[in-house]
Every structure is written in C-alpha cells, then in structure tokens.
Amino acid sequence: MSDFTSDFWHLYVAGLTIVSILACLVLLWISGTTKVKASGDNTTGHTWDEDLKEMNNPLPRWWVYLFIITVIFAFVYGALYPTFGKFPGLLGWSSTGAHQAEGDKLQAAIAPLYAKFKDMKAEDLAQDKQAMAIGERLFMNNCAQCHGSDARGSRSFPNLADKDWLWGGDHDAIKTTLVQGRMGVMPPMGAAVGTADDVLNVAHYVMSLSKTPHDPVRAVQGAPKFATCAACHGADGKGNTAMGAPNLSDETWLHGWGEEAIVRAVNVGFTNQMPAQADKLSEDQIHVLSAYVWGLSQAKAAP
C-alpha cells in the first residue's frame, strides 16, 4: 500500500495536468503557424464523398482567443484551488473544509430548536411530539440502515423496540452507546469447551436455559462445560450488560436460534460493532435520539 501513498503520485498528477495544459498551447501554436499548400480554389486537395472538399481557411479568431482564455483560466484556477497534486491553492479551499463549514452553519441554525430539549428528561421527551418527530427523523437518517425503519432489527442487528438490551436500556446507557459506540465480541470457545460432542452438549444446555426444545440428556452433560461460558454470560446464563454479553435464558436470539446456530457461535464466535455517532451528531441531537430509542422500548414490547 505504500506505493499508493508515496509522494510520487501527487507529483505524477501535477506533472500530467501541467503537461496537458501546455500540450493544448503547443497544439494551438502548431495549427496557427503550419502552412498548407493550397490550390487555386483555396482547397487542400483533400476530397471526401466525391465532392466534399477541405478548405484551407485559418481558425476563426474568436475560437483561438477563447482557447487561449481557457488555458489561462486553467492556470489561474490551479493557482487558486487544489489542482496540481498536493498544492493546496492560494485560497486554501478544500472540499473537507467546505463540508465542515456547511455542517457548522447547519448546527448553528438548528441549535435554538434543540435548546429547549437539552435539560428535559427522557420521560418528558418521550411525551413531546415535536421531540419525538425529530428523534424519528434522526433515527431514519442514521440508525434505520441497520436496525430497520421500525427499529426491530434483523439477524445480527438488535431489536431496539423490545426490552432486551445487550449494554443496558436506560437513557444514559443508550446515550453512551450512541456517543462511544460498542464492540461486541464472542470469541471462538470450541477448543476451551472440549470436543465436538462437548460443544453439542453445551448447545443443548443453553437451549434448556430458555426452556426451548432440547435433548435433556445432552443438557445435563453440557451443564458442567457451561462453566467456560459463565465468565461472560453468568452462572445462570442471564448475561452481563457491563460486557454486552447477551441473556441466554430468554427467547431473544441475535445471531439465530437452535442447535446449529449455537454450535456455530461456540466454534466460530461473532464480532458485532455499533459505530460511534459522536462525530456525526451533536450532543443535543444524541440527547433527543437516545430518548426516542428509549421510548420505543417503553411501549408494548415488539415481537
């Protein structure tokens, strides 16, 4: 990758740009000074389609002047704006700076709108129609891509409309998740559990925790081996919100349910990331958005 980040490439781009502009001037000079011997009827002697003759007329002056102005404009533009490799331009303009300026302008414009929500509690925000309308728009623009427009998620993407929370479901916990992001890791534990048969037994023990169909004999045999998993999920399998370890004793399965899914989880593991939103949303926006998400789980639990 160092070949693509070295200083050679900006010199290459700058050189290619300058050579291209100069080549236009050379082409113009050649076309303006080269004389073509013409016949008495002012043609070059080239004929197409039997009667279409090429005239030996000079380029129109307006076209030549316009061409020269275009070349001059290219050099002036390149001096003022980023054009020639890493040269930033005399005006110091950049697309990143322009985007940041527009973002700052937008934040300044909407700041008064969020000011009245800043000190409101989640319970009060959840009852405020305007705040929830804003929260819904924020959710649609920033969260629905993963969690769905109805916030019920899908496989490997948590349901935000129920009361099952990996990292805690109170307003402060949700706000922390939005600001900092989360990294959930289930390491491969097959070797630590034991043989393939031991892993299968543990899978049936885990299914027994949620009282779902399982092999009771294998579940009994898998109970001692579950001690390997208890460090994160707890001795009773109810999880640990401090670590983002899911509750294995309910009927919520983020990565799929059943013997095959659990065996795969033990042997392969999972890595889930919730990206931080602090660099995209302001503190006031996150305050409203977290209240909106919190309010979703306070209604009737979604299936």
Q: Where are the domains of the chain?
A: 2-80, 119-181+275-298, 185-274
| pLDDT at res. 4 | 60
CATH 1.10.760.10 for domain 119-181+275-298: yes
119-181+275-298 matches 185-274 in fold: yes
pLDDT: which is higher, 251 or 157: 157
C-alpha–C-alpha distance, residues 180 and 244, integer Å:
14
- Residue 223's φ and ψ, nearest 5 degrees, are -55, -45
| pLDDT at res. 36 | 67
Tens-digit pLDDT profile for residues 72-97: 999 999 999 998 888 889 999 999 89
| pLDDT at res. 207 | 94
Residue 237 pLDDT more than 50?
yes
Name the band, by pLDDT with cuts 50, 70 and 90, for residue 301.
very low
Strand, helix or coil for residue 238: coil
| pLDDT at res. 39 | 67
| pLDDT at res. 64 | 87
Task: Round the average pLDDT of the chain to a whole number and report it.
Answer: 89
Match 């490997």 to its residue by tokens: 156
Inter-residue contact 299 to 159 (CB < 8 Å): no
The domain defined by 185-274 folds into Cytochrome Bc1 Complex; Chain D, domain 2 (1.10.760)
Angle subtended at Cα 46 by Cα 41 and Cα 52, rounded to the nearest 5 degrees: 80
CA distances from 204 to 146, 210, 230, 242, 249 (A): 30, 10, 15, 26, 12
Tens-digit pLDDT profile for residues 101-156: 998 888 888 888 888 898 899 999 999 999 999 999 999 999 999 999 999 999 99
| pLDDT at res. 212 | 87
| pLDDT at res. 48 | 82
Inter-residue contact 157 to 166 (CB < 8 Å): no
Inter-residue contact 129 to 227 (CB < 8 Å): no
Residue 302 pLDDT more than 50?
no
CA distances from 85 to 8, 15, 70, 209, 241 (A): 10, 8, 20, 62, 50
Tens-digit pLDDT profile for residues 16-26: 999 998 998 88
End-to-end CA distance of the chain: 47
Mean pLDDT to the nearest integer, 166-179: 94
Tens-digit pLDDT profile for residues 239-291: 999 999 999 999 889 998 889 999 999 999 989 999 999 988 989 999 999 99
- Residue 220 corresponds to which tokens in the numbers above? 């009994």
Residue 201 pLDDT more than 90?
yes
Inter-residue contact 284 to 109 (CB < 8 Å): no
| pLDDT at res. 291 | 95
Query: Is-above-0.75 flag for pTM?
Result: no
CA distances from 179 to 84, 253, 279 (A): 39, 25, 8
Residue 29 pLDDT more than 80?
yes
Tens-digit pLDDT profile for residues 177-196: 999 999 999 999 999 999 99
